[in-house]
Amino acid sequence: FQCHSQCIFAIAWISDRLLCATSGDQTTVIYDIETGDEIDLLRGHTMSVRSVCKLYYSTTTGGRDSIINIYDRRYSKKQGALHPISSIACAHISSTALQKSARKDTRSVTAVEFQDEHNLYSCACADSALKVWDLRYTYSRLNTNHMPKPKRMFCVPIDDVKSINRLAGFSDMKMDSNRMILFANCTNSKIYQFDLHEDTYLSSSKIQSYTGHRVGSFNIKIALSPHDQLLLT
């Protein structure tokens, strides 16, 4: 069945029957795969929607507009669509770029991942830091002229950043089944492994990395096998 009018960037299973798909048409749609019917339409981005994840009734999307939107499917629709109950604007835009013009330096949110109901991880195409957001905090009340402050960050080792001729960033990330190990696919063609229950964000010596593949675009994704034994890119 036809999902979108433009290309699909990311998909996520909502349930055994419901599939969520993001697109370049600035929307995210949840479909019943057995009937092909549209169940929910999610709006709130001003550019293409690049990433999606779900936890319980919450669905979160990240876009090329550097906005992270959190939706709750239990809320009523407005004008036929679900709208965010919370948003994180300028999630991966530097403070320098924000002062100049945020729209000229949009950094796509290439992946979002729930660790639990309170902690959301995000990464972007031109940001060497993985950011952790506390969803108990209402970021959408902030003035968009100010940087939202994440709970903490996990960064690419500084020596690796220096070896890249352009801004380091991430094309994708995945958590293991226990939600305590994070694998992040960097544009320097390395996959970094972060131990989330240790302070790996403070010490680069604790960060493992995997090589052997080439990241030539931001469409390169990674996946873990069901028992966390195999890492695929």
What would the pLDDT profile of 59-70 be if each residue is shown by its tens digit?
999 999 999 999
Q: What angle do CA 137, 122, 178 make, to 5 degrees?
A: 95
pLDDT digits (tens, 9 = 90+) for 25-50: 999 999 999 999 999 999 999 999 99
Rounded to two decimals, what is the model's pTM? 0.89
Residue pLDDT, tens place only, 44-58: 999 999 999 999 999
Residue 5, C-beta contacts closer than 8 angstroms, at least 6 positions apart = 23, 25
Strands 170-175, 181-186: parallel, antiparallel or unpaired by DSSP?
antiparallel
User: Domain 8-232 carries which CATH code?
Assistant: 2.130.10.10
Task: Compute the average pLDDT of residues 198-206.
Answer: 60
> Can you tell me the mean pLDDT for 117-121?
96
Q: Where are the domains of the chain?
A: 8-232
